[in-house]
Amino acid sequence: MWYPPKVTTPPTEPVSVAEAKRQCNVLHDDDDALFAALISAARDHVERYCGTPLAQQTVEVKCDSFCDMARLPIAPVSDVDIEYVATDGTEQTVPDAAYELRADGLDASVVPAYGQNWPATRPRSRIVVTAIVGYETLPASIRHAMLLWIAEAYLNRENAETPEWTAFDALLTNYRR
């Protein structure tokens, strides 16, 4: 069983204020703080909509056993470090050569390397996976969807009815996890 991830190194925003202003055709600096807030809100919305982190960040996530590694709860993943409590009660780190990260887009898993086995853990202890997650380079369709969301939020600051299916949905549909 996986437990909720904890962000240990927060992401930098994948869209700049200058890009957001350009999308909205804004030439003044009066709303820069608003744009920064909208960028953060857009990233949060897209991350929750897609169920995946956008910008690279470091997270710590815990699980109950090594069999949980067959499917990581968060992706895309570019690197992992694994710590556990050995049967004698000492904290140990699994050597990098003992496992293989299989980061296949939105599906990620960690498996023992050829000829290796997972170590024995202390009963009822948790395994801690520290992972670098998110896109190194944000896909163009996600960036564009964020810019559409920001422009819509900037231009229509009150609640308004939206159509059931939008360009925002269409751009992000392939990135949902």
Of residues 24 and 166, more confidently modeled? 24
- The model's pLDDT over 77-136, given as tens digits with 9 standing for 90+, comes to 999 999 999 999 999 999 999 999 999 888 999 999 999 999 999 999 999 999 999 999
CATH number, domain with residue 152: 1.10.3230.30
Q: Report yes or no on 5 lying in a domain.
A: no
Flag whether the pTM goes above 0.85: no
With contact defined as beta carbons under 8 Å apart, do 43 and 15 qualify? yes
- The model's pLDDT over 43-90, given as tens digits with 9 standing for 90+, comes to 988 998 888 999 999 999 999 999 999 999 999 999 999 999 999 999
What residue numbers bound the domain in which 148 lies?
11-54+137-175
Instruction: Tell me what pLDDT residue 155 has.
Output: 85
For residue 165, give the amino acid letter: W
Structure-token pair, residue 63: 């699980």
Q: Report yes or no on 3 lying in a domain.
A: no
Place of tokens 């909205």: 24
What total of structural domains would you count in the chain?
2
121 and 148 belong to one structural domain? no
Classified as helix, coil or strand, 87 is: coil
What single-letter DSSP state applies at residue 67?
Answer: G
45 and 64 belong to one structural domain? no
Of residues 157 and 137, more confidently modeled? 137
79 and 91 belong to one structural domain? yes
Going by C-alpha positions, the residue among 28, 27, 35 that lies closest to residue 149 is: 35
